């Protein structure tokens, strides 16, 4: 396997892991109906990495829904 192919595989794997974590987190907070400020910052951090690597689609759609949730105090 060439270094270039290995980098592509690692990029795709990292993007998949970020998508999964973003997807699971978003679904949790959407079901909950609210999100704390610190949890929102964590979701933003995940989303920014996901988006910077070229992620879009369902991750972006779910993140936009989370951004519209009610902000609540820490759990």
Q: What is the pLDDT of residue 37?
A: 95
Q: What is the model's pTM?
A: 0.88
Contacts of 47 (CB under 8 A, 6+ apart): 22, 59, 60, 63
Per-position pLDDT tens, the chain of length 75: 899 999 999 999 999 999 999 999 999 999 999 999 999 999 999 999 999 999 988 899 999 999 999 999 876
């Amino acid at each position: 396997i060439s270094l270039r192919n290995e980098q592509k595989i690692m990029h795709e794997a990292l993007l998949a892991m970020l998508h999964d974590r973003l997807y699971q987190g978003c679904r949790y907070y959407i079901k909950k109906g609210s999100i704390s400020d610190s949890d929102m910052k964590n979701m933003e951090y995940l989303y920014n990495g996901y988006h910077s690597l070229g992620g879009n689609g369902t991750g972006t759609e779910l993140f936009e829904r989370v951004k519209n949730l009610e902000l609540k105090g820490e759990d």
